[in-house]
């Protein structure tokens, strides 16, 4: 599990601008997910080869009568408790304020690395003005301008050095299957039905599960960790401070799993929130199985299954090579089929295709259907190989990689899927200079 860094401070000091710069800085970024009550974001970044998760908290305002401000204050305190390191951001334009002193008082009690960061320092005069922040009693500070990135390199160098090394837990070596979905879709009921006992609390109240919980599970001669997570819902629907971190842990469960079993409620349909969860898993290049739960509650005829599946696939275009299993956690209908399918998807994700086989099958297809000419220049693909990565990635070596556009890359992906079983697994295509 990666380290967590929380960005805290009073309102309007530029925390979100700095957060956005961090998550866009490197190609290794997986995703940024907009937050959970107001102005809350969390994402993933990397610096000097070290990955960490980031929480952008709301502005801390002590003693406010605003109900939302009180909730934000609770979440800031939870973020500080959850984090391995804290970035305390202030604004050189306004100088030290009473709210800054409130946050500083809170942070002086914390036994964690705290980085005092003075934002909007973009000239020599403001650099001199920054000295007054010594009065906060937090020692040395870093001056940055988050709008243009000035000074962030020095800060991040110090930050990653201060982050503790996370121990490698032996259990993490087992494949991880995360059961995710919106609240009250039947995730915990599904796991209880699988293991034959009430391992998790199951109620009809949405949001009962507060954390991601692992269960070691063995089925079909295959051992893995089954992870139950809190439901993911839209930020406008999340009001409780605890639920903010339930959602964050669910997102992190997706980031750190091998296969996502996305449980959806058949009576609610494949709505926008389920689609958001699907695309979050896809962007993280995870194996995906869609489980249509509560299928026993749907009025249906002999066409219902095919029509429902067609509707889902239309929403998933262009990535439609995903298994869809219709289940009922209540009656245990097809629950073991769901696990069997997840194991197949995992095996697809770790599958390696021999280079000779790839070239033997794909080069003749490419010769018959070459990339379209661009500016009277012809692309010639000479060689193909699968990269040695955790998920399927393929490199196509050619003379003019810059002229191969996305439609042709999708064509190549479709041909790979036609000849090799990568059902449920996102594929990455890269064009490289030969």
CATH code, 365: 3.30.300.20
Residue 44 banded pLDDT, cuts 50, 70, 90: confident
- The Cα-based distances of 15 to 25, 223, 240, 428 in angstroms read 15, 43, 22, 33
Q: Find, among 259, 265, 273, 263, the residue nearest to 295 by Cα.
A: 265
Question: What does the pLDDT read at residue 230?
Answer: 57
**C-beta of residue 291 within 8 angstroms of C-beta of residue 261:** yes
Residue 347 banded pLDDT, cuts 50, 70, 90: very high
Of 133, 162, 191, the position where a domain reaches its end is 162
Is 168 inside a domain boundary? no
Count up the domains in the chain and report the number: 3
Question: What does the pLDDT read at residue 349?
Answer: 93
**C-beta of residue 399 within 8 angstroms of C-beta of residue 434:** yes
Is 167 inside a domain boundary? no
Are 113 and 16 found together in one domain? yes
Are 346 and 360 found together in one domain? no
Token digits of residue 269: 């349909």
Are 145 and 241 found together in one domain? no
Query: What rounded mean pLDDT belongs to the chain?
Result: 79
* Annotation: binding site for GTP: 9-16, 56-60, 119-122, 181-188, 228-232, 293-296
Question: What does the pLDDT read at residue 58?
Answer: 64
**C-beta of residue 11 within 8 angstroms of C-beta of residue 116:** no
Chain centroid to CA 215: how far? 21
Please state whether beta strands 259-265 and 85-91 pair in parallel, antiparallel, or not at all (unpaired).
unpaired
Whether the per-residue pLDDT at 90 is higher than 50: the answer is: yes
Q: pTM for the full model?
A: 0.59
Question: What does the pLDDT read at residue 204?
Answer: 43
Is 171 inside a domain boundary? no
CA atoms within 13 A on the CB side of 78: 19
Whether the per-residue pLDDT at 23 is higher than 90: the answer is: no
Residue 55 banded pLDDT, cuts 50, 70, 90: confident
Order the strands of the 393-398 sheet from edge to edge: 381-386, 393-398, 428-433
**Is the Cα torsion angle 233, 235, 238, 242 positive or negative in sign?**
positive
Q: Find, among 418, 393, 396, the residue nearest to 285 by Cα.
A: 393
For the chain, the three-class secondary structure string (H helix, E strand, C coil) is CCEEEEEECCCCCCHHHHHHHHHHCCCCCCCEEECCCCCCEEEEEEECCEEEEEEECCCCCCCCCCHHHHHHHHHHHHHHHHCCEEEEEEECCCCCCHHHHHHHHHHHCCCCCEEEEEECCCCHHHHHHHHHHHHHCCCCEEECECCCCECHHHHHHHHHHHCCCCCCCHHHHCCEEEEECCCCCCHHHHHHHHHCCCCCCCCCCCCCCCCCEEEEEEECCEEEEEEECCCCCCHHHCCCHHHHHHHHHHHHHHHCCCEEEEEEECCCCCCHHHHHHHHHHHHCCCEEEEEEECHHHCCCCCCHHHHHHHHHHHHHCCCCCCCEEECECCCCECHHHHHHHHHHHHHHHCCCCCHHHHHHHHHHHHHHCCCCCECCECCCEEEEEECCCCCCEEEEEECCHHHCCHHHHHHHHHHHHHHCCCCCCCCEEEEEEC
Are 150 and 232 found together in one domain? no
Could you read off the pLDDT of 60-70 as tens digits, one per residue? 555 544 444 45
Residue with tokens 């690395």: 113
Question: What does the pLDDT read at residue 286?
Answer: 92
Whether the per-residue pLDDT at 28 is higher than 70: the answer is: no
Are 150 and 203 found together in one domain? no
Give dist(CA 187, CA 233) in Å, integer.
14
Is 228 inside a domain boundary? yes
Give dist(CA 382, CA 6) in Å, integer.
47
Whether the per-residue pLDDT at 293 is higher than 80: the answer is: yes
Residue with tokens 């906060």: 136
Are 42 and 157 found together in one domain? yes
Chain centroid to CA 21: how far? 17
* Mean pLDDT in residue range 168-185: 72
Question: What does the pLDDT read at residue 416?
Answer: 93
Say whether the peptide bond before residue 135 is cis (omega within 30 degrees of 0).
no
Are 224 and 332 found together in one domain? yes
- The Cα-based distances of 174 to 93, 256, 310 in angstroms read 51, 12, 34
Of 331, 350, 369, the position where a domain reaches its end is 350
Are 402 and 288 found together in one domain? no
Is 125 inside a domain boundary? yes
Better-scored residue on pLDDT, 253 or 92 = 92
Question: What does the pLDDT read at residue 326?
Answer: 94
Residue 115 sits in a domain whose CATH number is 3.40.50.300
Is 56 inside a domain boundary? yes
Give the range among 182-186, 212-216, 287-291 with minimum mean pLDDT: 212-216
Question: What does the pLDDT read at residue 33?
Answer: 40
Backbone angles phi, psi at 286, to 5 degrees: -95, 155
Residue 205 banded pLDDT, cuts 50, 70, 90: very low
Are 339 and 387 found together in one domain? no
Question: What does the pLDDT read at residue 197?
Answer: 54
Are 126 and 14 found together in one domain? yes
Give dist(CA 293, CA 419) in Å, integer.
31
Residue 243, domain extent:
176-350
Of 131, 162, 193, the position where a domain reaches its end is 162
Whether the per-residue pLDDT at 239 is higher than 90: the answer is: no
Are 394 and 327 found together in one domain? no
Is 201 inside a domain boundary? yes
* Mean pLDDT in residue range 362-390: 89
Question: What does the pLDDT read at residue 42?
Answer: 63
Question: What does the pLDDT read at residue 5?
Answer: 87
Residue with tokens 């605890």: 242
Are 343 and 410 found together in one domain? no
Question: Burial of 203 by CB count in 10 Å (0-12 exposed, 13-18 middle, 19+ buried)?
Answer: exposed
* Annotation: binding site: 9-16, 56-60, 119-122, 181-188, 228-232, 293-296
């Amino acid at each position: 599990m990666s380290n967590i860094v929380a960005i805290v401070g009073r309102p309007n000091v530029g925390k979100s601008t700095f957060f956005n710069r961090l998550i866009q800085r490197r190609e290794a970024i997986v995703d940024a997910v907009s937050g959970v009550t107001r102005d809350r974001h969390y994402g993933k970044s990397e610096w000097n080869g070290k990955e960490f998760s980031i929480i952008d908290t709301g502005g801390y305002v002590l003693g406010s009568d605003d109900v939302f401000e009180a909730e934000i204050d609770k979440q800031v305190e939870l973020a500080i408790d959850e984090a391995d390191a804290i970035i305390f951001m202030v604004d050189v334009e306004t100088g030290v304020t009473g709210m800054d002193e409130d946050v500083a008082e809170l942070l002086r009690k914390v036994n964690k690395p705290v980085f005092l960061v003075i934002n909007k320092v973009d000239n020599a005069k403001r650099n001199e003005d920054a000295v007054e922040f010594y009065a906060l009693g937090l020692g040395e500070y870093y001056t940055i301008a988050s709008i243009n990135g000035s000074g962030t390199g020095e800060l991040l160098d110090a930050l990653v050095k201060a982050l503790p090394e996370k121990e490698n837990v032996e259990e993490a070596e087992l494949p991880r299957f995360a059961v995710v979905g919106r609240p009250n879709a039947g995730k915990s009921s599904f796991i209880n039905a699988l293991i034959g006992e009430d391992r998790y609390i199951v109620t009809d109240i949405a949001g009962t599960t507060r954390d991601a919980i692992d269960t070691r599970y063995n089925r079909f001669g295959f051992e893995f960790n089954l992870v139950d997570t809190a439901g993911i819902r839209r930020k406008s629907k999340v009001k409780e401070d605890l639920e903010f971190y339930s959602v964050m842990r669910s997102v992190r469960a997706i980031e750190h799993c091998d296969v996502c079993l996305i449980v959806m409620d058949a009576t609610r349909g494949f709505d926008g929130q389920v689609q958001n969860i699907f695309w979050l898993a896809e962007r993280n290049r995870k194996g995906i199985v869609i489980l249509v739960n509560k299928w026993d509650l749907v009025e249906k005829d002999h066409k219902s299954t095919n029509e429902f599946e067609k509707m889902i696939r239309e929403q998933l275009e262009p990535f439609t090579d995903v298994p869809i299993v219709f289940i009922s956690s209540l009656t245990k209908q097809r629950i073991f089929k769901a696990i069997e399918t997840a194991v197949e998807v995992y095996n697809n994700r770790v599958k390696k295709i021999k280079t000779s086989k790839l070239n033997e099958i794909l080069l003749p297809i490419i010769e018959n259907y070459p990339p379209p000419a661009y500016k009277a220049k012809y692309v010639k693909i000479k060689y193909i190989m699968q990269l040695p990565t955790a998920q399927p990635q393929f490199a196509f070596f050619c003379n003019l990689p810059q002229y191969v556009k996305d439609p042709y890359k999708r064509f190549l992906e479709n041909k790979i899927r036609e000849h090799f079983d990568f059902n449920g697994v996102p594929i990455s295509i890269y064009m490289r200079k030969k």
